[in-house]
């Protein structure tokens, strides 16, 4: 027993110097003149505060400390370019660590929070309403398969049957996107290997992930994304979500199901589209508190020994 305790103590002692070295190395990488200059170019007077939050985030996350610094900085640059803070408590944008089995190294991935998508949409000044909501049994009686109009019913139970997102533009165009719970489960199974194996963010925060899915798919298909700065930022965010970059100028690489990533085209807002009656949209309801934690950052789920590095190699979507 004493020998075992001594062995554990020695492991802790060895780990502490390693962590301290990683912190020093990352701080040196961020304080590189070229890196600091780039952040100042993008953020101006706000650069110092942003870099400070980046250092604080990484120094307190052992997995991010182990990630290749260039991928962490590139992910942070994506958030900076979109003018989104990376404070995990705000739930707007995330830097997520994972093990890349192909590159044989820890890397970092930029991920949008659904709150960040909503904020970028609001910045365009083109949206009158944007919302995502859980749909309970009875709230939808039917959906017109041609127009997409929802025939609204009355809630009869607390059973979740689906998820809906809604956007309305100032020009009168509006659109609803609904996915049943079974459709969202199929989506999660397709895009998340950890979900198929029974653990991970989709398992722990299914409702929150589902809300992000419907709002992201709706905006990517019908959202206003013109060449104007604020609209193009929304397009960039959709393209960069769940992407890995080894440098700020590098093309996006998608680690999970790269052939199925969303294609985002810059387009002008539709001018002659039919208007959906706002009254047909289910009322916005706050999801149960247990379903969406208060802006918790993505966390690694407990793993068995059999899951190992294979599980770590798959990045997860942000739960918010």
How confident is the model at residue 305, as a pLDDT?
40
- Average pLDDT by stretches of 10, the chain with 320 residues: 51 62 90 93 94 93 90 93 89 83 85 85 90 95 87 94 95 94 94 76 82 91 69 66 54 47 34 36 41 42 44 49
Collapsing DSSP states into helix, strand and coil, what is residue 312? helix
How is residue 6 annotated by DSSP?
Answer: H
Neighbours of 279 (CB within 10 A): 8
Q: What is the DSSP letter of 44?
A: G
Res 205: pLDDT? 79
Eight-state DSSP code of residue 67: S
The SS3 of residue 118 is: helix
Provide the Cα torsion 281, 284, 289, 291; round to 10°: 30
């Amino acid at each position: 027993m004493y020998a075992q305790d001594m062995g554990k103590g020695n492991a802790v002692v060895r780990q502490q110097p390693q962590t301290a070295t990683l912190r020093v190395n990352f701080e040196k990488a961020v304080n590189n003149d070229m890196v600091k200059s780039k952040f100042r170019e993008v953020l101006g007077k706000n650069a110092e505060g942003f870099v400070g939050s980046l250092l604080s985030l990484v120094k307190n996350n052992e997995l991010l400390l182990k990630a290749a610094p260039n991928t962490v900085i590139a992910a942070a640059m994506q958030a900076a370019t979109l003018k989104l803070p990376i404070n995990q408590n705000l739930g707007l944008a995330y830097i997520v660590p994972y093990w890349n089995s192909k590159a044989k190294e820890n890397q970092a991935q930029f991920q949008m929070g659904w709150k960040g998508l909503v904020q970028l949409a609001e910045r365009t000044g083109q949206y009158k309403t944007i919302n995502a909501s859980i749909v309970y049994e009875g709230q939808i009686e039917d959906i017109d398969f041609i127009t997409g109009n929802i025939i609204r019913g009355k809630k009869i139970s607390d059973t979740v049957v689906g998820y809906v997102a809604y956007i309305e533009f100032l020009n009168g165009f509006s659109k609803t996107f609904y996915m049943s719970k079974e459709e969202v489960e199929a989506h999660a199974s397709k895009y998340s290997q950890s979900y198929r194996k029974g653990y991970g963010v989709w398992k722990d925060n299914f409702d929150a992930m589902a809300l992000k899915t419907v709002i992201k798919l709706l905006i990517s298909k019908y959202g206003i994304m013109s060449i104007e700065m604020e609209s193009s930022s929304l397009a960039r965010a959709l393209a960069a979500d769940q992407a890995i970059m080894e440098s700020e100028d590098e093309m996006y690489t998608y680690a999970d199901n790269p052939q199925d990533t969303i294609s985002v085209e810059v387009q002008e807002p539709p001018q002659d589209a039919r208007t959906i009656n706002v009254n047909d949209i289910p009322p916005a309801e706050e999801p149960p508190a247990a379903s969406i934690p208060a802006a918790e950052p993505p966390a690694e789920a407990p793993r068995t020994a059999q899951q190992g590095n294979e599980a770590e190699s798959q990045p997860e979507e942000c739960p918010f």
